[in-house]
Structure 1
Amino acid sequence: MDDFLAARSQMALSLGFHIVFACIGMVMPFFMAVAHYKWLKSGLAVYKNVTKAWSKGVAIFFATGAVSGTVLSFELGLLWPTFMEHAGPIFGMPFSLEGTAFFIEAIALGFFLYGWGKFNPWFHWFTGVVVGISGLVSGILVVAANAWMNSPTGFQYIDGKYLDIDPIQAMFNDAWFSQALHMSLAAFVATGFAVAGVHAFMILRGKNVLFHQKAFRIAAIFACIAAVLQPLSGDISAKDVGKRQPAKLAAMEAHFHTEKQASLIVGGLVHEKKETVQYALKIPGLLSWMAHGDFQASVTGLDQIPKENHPPVAITHYAFQVMVGLGMMLLALALVYFVALWKKRTWLNRTWLYRLFVWAIPLGFLAIEAGWMVTEIGRQPWIIYGVMRTADAVTPMPGIAYSFYLFTAVYLSLTVIVIFLLYRQIKMVGKLYDQSGEIS
């Protein structure tokens, strides 16, 4: 493995690991706050129990996310020093603000975890809300920095120098809104279905049914609302990418030849050298509409882009198909659940419905990983789109492959530790719960 591939692999591994915990950290505090609110309003102890159980999970994921996020920050400088030398002064503001949001989140989480019986009940609830808001803002700020890499602005690039820097314009670049919206909804979808699925599994096992039913309902409603909204944000993102990054859109759809009334390609086997896609379902005009809002519009193909600027087509296309396919599956499950809530309430206690949610546990996070593959691989060969190539930004330091192997071992170990802690936490809830609704 050469150093360039090792550096990219290490960054991909770190981001792929961190993004799971970042999404959970952005979303679970809102679940926790809703359960806490229900306890304050109803006085039902079961909601207090759910709140306390979820707060311990939030603490675990916060700690793991903080560690993995810190590693990512160091890796930007260690693996891509040329990139940080030039880009740091331009897009450093969202990272600085993200640090502030992180500190607020940490302080609020400490207040919440140790504030039971010590604060005014509504102030205590408010600290939990602050945990959620600051975590969500933190995630949006990081996405804004990534969006700048896809839509660099806020500077003048003249004779190899970055001049007239405007960090505000860089942070609120053309891509930040569509990426932040899509990522935030994806976090609610993935976390909501995963949490609901875990509680559905415990319901199927007959463990503490009342406790898990209350928790399941909160997580499922969040997940299903986000799943219904996600295709709308996907449409916004597709039109934005079609306008700013035609090469990425062409790779996503394996669209080799520029044409009007371009077909949307579903599935298929990509042959990059032959510039063909076999065994695909093609829907005439739909890609033109998705990219430009016009079924007759011309969509730029890879034939209009220099070959040295082509992203890897096959992997980008397959990742996009996985993301969309899993998103549609979760949308279908969301619609089934809403039908159950509004029209078929007898479905709510059916085994098959809970089993569907159990099967859905990993799907949202798989979709997120696939989506980030589309975002990052589809931008190649650029680390700053149209300005700096990834190969020109990598560190000249040798031996990066050994660092990659070491970090792989560290992340695998962290994964095992987190799974163990969560498993122990779930078992502990079962042991402490009794039918009166109290946890000792």
Structure 2
Amino acid sequence: MTAEFLSRLQFAFVVSFHILFPAFSIGLASWLAFLEAVWLVRRTDPWRDLYFFWLKIFAVAFGMGVVSGIVMSFQFGTNWAGFSEAAGNVIGPLLNYEVLTAFFLEATFLGVMLFGWRKVSDRTHFFATCMVALGTLISTFWIMAANSWMQTPAGYALRDGVFYPDDWMKVIFNPSFPVRLPHMVLGAFISTAMVIGGVSAWYLLKGRFADKSRATLKLALAFLAIVIPVQIVVGDMSGLEVHRNQPAKLAAIEARWETRRDVPLTLFAWPDEQAQANRYAIDVPRLGSIILTHSLHGEVKGLQDFPADQRPPVAIPFFSFRIMVGLGFAMLGLALIGLWRWRRGTLEKPWYLRAWVVMIPSGFVAVLTGWWVAEVGRQPWVVYGVMRTSEASSPLPVGSVMASLATFVVVYLGIFGAGLYYLVKLFRTGPVPAPVREAAPHQTPARPLSVPQDAIEE
């Protein structure tokens, strides 16, 4: 229970809580742009009702994501002063670019999107929705660029223990960034689609909003049937990147202790780090080499080839990776079964709808476990291969970090618990008829010193 360990635990708690809301708002923003585009073409009430329903959900999720993100950034100065001092020349500008290009864009058009629908034309409001969706994607771009640089640093010079950017293009487009960015965006889209489909299935089970829910359920399962195979391909590319640039992380993910060729794929095992062996292993011969190296006799380095103080923990990456992959294939199976039942006209069988409801949180769990694989597997480095986590933490008393961690847990469970309760209430209310949208006034605002149109009474 050192200050470094507690600081890691505190940051892990905050970022794990925070990532759920951006992942949801990234997908919801694009979903809202799609709904409004359909409404502009069809001009039918159900699509407006769906838009305004999901707009309320987006507003709450976006607000909670912003608040938790701001709190998270303060910890760079309080708990990770060593990292801020050493890597601030690189990480600071990347986070500032996110604020200048994404957060300002979102904040500007979010007001029009939420409160300007009676004041602006339909097309202007749709443009605002698209800008908010674009802002969430730009925000993802910069955050993933910063995190990916910590995973695979490039384009820098290290002088007196301080990182100085030499080539910003190499800093931003570091080796892992081109794969990790689409992996995260697709994960957010999939998580949102699981919520949309699951909520729609719940309404159908309850016999509420049948026409609207039937349409959104079909959209969700069709989207998942297309996007999840793409995500599997992107995930495979991410695995190849980890094999090239972070071999110790790959060894932890696969619980490989010895370097060897013809590596089996371990479906399940109980890694024993003290004995450096796997208990109760279920292996598929040679399949590991085929998946991890795309070669029948590919070689994978084992943890024993790395110094003991440079090995990541094994259990968390090992089990988290298998949970993530297992949920991905479960979601794909759910969507493919849905397409088959849709074609046969038996989509609304109660057992299938219940399966959707049960799977609502699966996308978020996959996102969380994916981040645990990436972050725990990077240890003991905060900047992979260059700066250790122990060098990045602030020299704080253990009691201070313990107190702040306990405060975060209590406050988050209280405030954000209330936010989640409100989200559940919104879901229970459902896509009720939306308020009437008035046409935009066709008047040109008067100049400040112009004569008023109405007479001024004495």
Provide TM-score, normalisation by structure 1: 0.94
Contact 2:313–2:379 (CA under 8 A) maintained in structure 1: yes
Partner of 1:374: 373
For these two proteins, the number of residue pairs brought into alignment is: 433
Q: Matched residues in 1 for 2:140 and 2:222: separation?
A: 22
Deviation per CA, 1:37-56: give whole Å up to 9, x if none: 12111121010000011111
Q: Matched residues in 2 for 1:29 and 1:397: separation?
A: 40
Runs of at least 5 residues in structure 2 that lack an aligned partner in the other structure: 437-458
Contact 1:259–1:301 (CA under 8 A) maintained in structure 2: yes
Partner of 1:55: 55
Contact 2:267–2:281 (CA under 8 A) maintained in structure 1: yes
Partner of 2:241: 240
SS in 1 for 2:278: strand
Quote how far apart the aligned CAs of 1:282 are.
1.4
Q: Matched residues in 1 for 2:275 and 2:189: separation?
A: 40
Q: Matched residues in 2 for 1:226 and 1:404: separation?
A: 38
Partner of 1:195: 196
Q: Matched residues in 1 for 2:381 and 2:165: separation?
A: 22
In structure 1, what residue type is equivalent to 2:375?
E
Quote how far apart the aligned CAs of 1:125 are.
1.2
Deviation per CA, 1:181-212: give whole Å up to 9, x if none: 11111111112102221221121011222232
In structure 2, what residue type is equivalent to 1:79?
N
Partner of 2:443: none
1:161-310 to structure 2, matched below 5 A, reads 161-163=162-164, 165-310=166-311
Q: Matched residues in 2 for 1:217 and 1:140: separation?
A: 30
Contact 1:323–1:371 (CA under 8 A) maintained in structure 2: yes
SS in 2 for 1:280: strand
1:41-120 to structure 2, matched below 5 A, reads 41-100=41-100, 101-120=102-121
Deviation per CA, 1:294-347: give whole Å up to 9, x if none: 121111111211111010012211111111111111121122223344x33x12
Q: Matched residues in 1 for 2:411 and 2:218: separation?
A: 35
Q: Matched residues in 2 for 1:308 and 1:425: separation?
A: 49
Runs of at least 5 residues in structure 1 that lack an aligned partner in the other structure: none
Q: Matched residues in 2 for 1:97 and 1:353: separation?
A: 45
Deviation per CA, 1:159-195: give whole Å up to 9, x if none: 5343463333211111111111111111111121022
Contact 2:262–2:286 (CA under 8 A) maintained in structure 1: yes
SS in 2 for 1:300: coil
Q: Matched residues in 1 for 2:403 and 2:217: separation?
A: 43
Q: Matched residues in 1 for 2:348 and 2:429: separation?
A: 25
Q: Matched residues in 2 for 1:337 and 1:93: separation?
A: 45
Q: Matched residues in 2 for 1:98 and 1:234: separation?
A: 25
Q: Matched residues in 2 for 1:133 and 1:73: separation?
A: 22
SS in 2 for 1:298: coil
Partner of 1:19: 19
In structure 1, what residue type is equivalent to 2:353?
Y
Partner of 1:316: 317
Partner of 1:6: 6
Quote how far apart the aligned CAs of 1:429 are.
3.6
Q: Matched residues in 2 for 1:160 and 1:73: separation?
A: 22
Bigger shift: residues 44-53 or 32-41: 32-41
Deviation per CA, 1:117-175: give whole Å up to 9, x if none: 43221221121111112102211221111111110111122553434633332111111
| 1:374–1:258 CA distance, 2 compared to 1 (3 A) | same
Q: Matched residues in 1 for 2:65 and 2:156: separation?
A: 32
Partner of 2:451: none
Contact 1:31–1:219 (CA under 8 A) maintained in structure 2: no
Q: Matched residues in 2 for 1:376 and 1:347: separation?
A: 43
Quote how far apart the aligned CAs of 1:439 are.
5.4
Contact 1:193–1:364 (CA under 8 A) maintained in structure 2: yes
RMSD between superposed Cα atoms in Å: 1.7
Partner of 2:37: 37
Aligned-pair identity in percent equals 34
In structure 1, what residue type is equivalent to 2:163?
Y
| 1:268–1:85 CA distance, 2 compared to 1 (3 A) | same
Quote how far apart the aligned CAs of 1:371 are.
0.8
Partner of 2:346: 347
**1:360 correspondence with 2:359:** yes
Contact 1:267–1:281 (CA under 8 A) maintained in structure 2: yes
In structure 1, what residue type is equivalent to 2:207?
G
Contact 1:154–1:167 (CA under 8 A) maintained in structure 2: yes
Bigger shift: residues 205-214 or 358-367: 205-214
SS in 2 for 1:202: helix
Bigger shift: residues 99-108 or 414-423: 414-423
Partner of 1:393: 392
Q: Matched residues in 1 for 2:429 and 2:316: separation?
A: 42
| 1:164–1:182 CA distance, 2 compared to 1 (3 A) | closer
Bigger shift: residues 138-147 or 232-241: 138-147
Contact 2:89–2:164 (CA under 8 A) maintained in structure 1: no
In structure 1, what residue type is equivalent to 2:93?
M
| 1:60–1:161 CA distance, 2 compared to 1 (3 A) | closer
Contact 2:90–2:165 (CA under 8 A) maintained in structure 1: no
Partner of 1:405: 406
Q: Matched residues in 2 for 1:339 and 1:235: separation?
A: 27
Q: Matched residues in 2 for 1:40 and 1:164: separation?
A: 46
SS in 2 for 1:349: coil
Q: Matched residues in 1 for 2:234 and 2:372: separation?
A: 18
Partner of 2:139: 138
Bigger shift: residues 249-258 or 421-430: 421-430
Q: Matched residues in 2 for 1:52 and 1:263: separation?
A: 51
| 1:77–1:329 CA distance, 2 compared to 1 (3 A) | same
Q: Matched residues in 1 for 2:62 and 2:323: separation?
A: 28
Bigger shift: residues 303-312 or 151-160: 151-160
Quote how far apart the aligned CAs of 1:219 are.
3.5
Q: Matched residues in 2 for 1:107 and 1:180: separation?
A: 25
In structure 2, what residue type is equivalent to 1:106?
A
